[in-house]
Amino acid sequence: MHQRTLPLLALISSLSVSGSACRIRDHVAPDFPLHSVADAGALGLRGSTTTQPDAAVGGAAGFAMPATADAYDAGAVAAASQDAGAAAVEDPACDLNGIWIARQTTFSRDSVFNAVQTASNWFYYQITQQGRDVSVVHSLDCGIQASGSADATINRATTQALLTRNDQAGRHGLFYREGDHCVFTLERFYATRGVPRASYLPANLASNPDLSTIMPALPTQANPAGSEDWDGDGQPGITFNVATLGSRHVVQRDWSELFSDASYSIALQASHFVVRATFDNQEQILAVTGGLSGLLLASSTPATDLHHRITFQRLGRNATDPSVTAVRVAADIDTCYNVQDALPHDPAMQ
């Protein structure tokens, strides 16, 4: 576990991000917002802002990385990695081109106490926009943490396993001006964990199918065939470590959609904004390890009475911007930990 340094505090302290104190790696830290960086070289972040990508990491994650991190980012966001006006957006006051990080906050109720569980999912995005049409051209899935009636985290191996298996490249949306604010939508995206996408999601998802209609059903404890040990711990699926209780080994399937509305409006020229999210999920627990297996077997359902949301923060428009290179380092896993540091878990229950 790395320790924050004073230069990192100085960097992150002016990003206007709200939240609270818990990080996925069980280190307590304030919810620092990330800022435009004048002295990126002084940062205490993981890796170097000029290091070469780790080819072994890239290969293990399932994609080929080029000679330099800058070349990789710049190539992936050809339009977005130029200057502010490179892509022909409909209105420069509503321009999503660039490199963003995000924390999605969702709420569920557990089946034992009906208590609220708050989950954070983190993402790194490279986005391009033409007119009002938005496309994700590259993403990293940067991990999950939950708090509430039980606190659940994933370790480094599980975070590594999630990085690129649900790449959102090709996800489309809209971003445009409407009066004194911007309107944002991002289409539904489906993900799987612990089972292969190709087997457990249809090839065509354009109709936005309900999870209950998707076949085959997820593997179960009685019939685990089809599950995969993504994090290599000898247990099926992926592993959530539940504080003081033990571990849950699960497979999951879910979707989310993003949109602005009257309660979550986006200011013109915004580099930081919060919008609504809707989601649904399925989970099967394949095994538990630990002393309190009864509580570990509890399930949860989305809290339909609460407003799920996602926080976006633009790092920069160019892959070589100091605030991008401060976060986007050689290894994807460490980039993701930097994303978590910049937008810490928010344990609020509404």
Extents of the domains making up the chain: 6-342
Residue the block writes with tokens 């708090």: 147
Q: What is the pairing mode between strands 181-193 and 98-110? A: unpaired
Residue 100 near residue 125 (C-beta atoms within 8 A): yes
**How many CA atoms, within 13 angstroms, populate the side-chain half-sphere of residue 248?**
24
Q: What tokens does 324 get? A: 């991008």
- Distance from C-alpha of 177 to C-alpha of 232, rounded to nearest angstrom: 47
φ, ψ of residue 29 to 5 degrees: the values are -150, 150
* Residue 139: partners with Cβ closer than 8 Å, 6 or more residues away: 123, 124, 125, 126, 167, 168, 169, 171
Predicted confidence (pLDDT) per residue in 58-103, tens digit: 333 332 323 333 333 434 433 333 443 445 899 999 999 999 999 9
Which element (helix H / strand E) includes 188?
strand 181-193
- Of the candidate ranges 92-101, 242-251, 312-321, 333-342, the one whose mean pLDDT is the lowest: 242-251
3-state secondary structure of 215: coil
- Distance from C-alpha of 193 to C-alpha of 179, rounded to nearest angstrom: 41
Is 296 buried (19+), middle (13-18) or exposed (0-12) by CB count in 10 A?
buried
Predicted confidence (pLDDT) per residue in 234-287, tens digit: 999 999 999 888 899 999 999 999 999 999 999 999 999 999 999 999 999 999
Q: What tokens does 167 get? A: 């790449």
Q: What tokens does 254 get? A: 């879910």
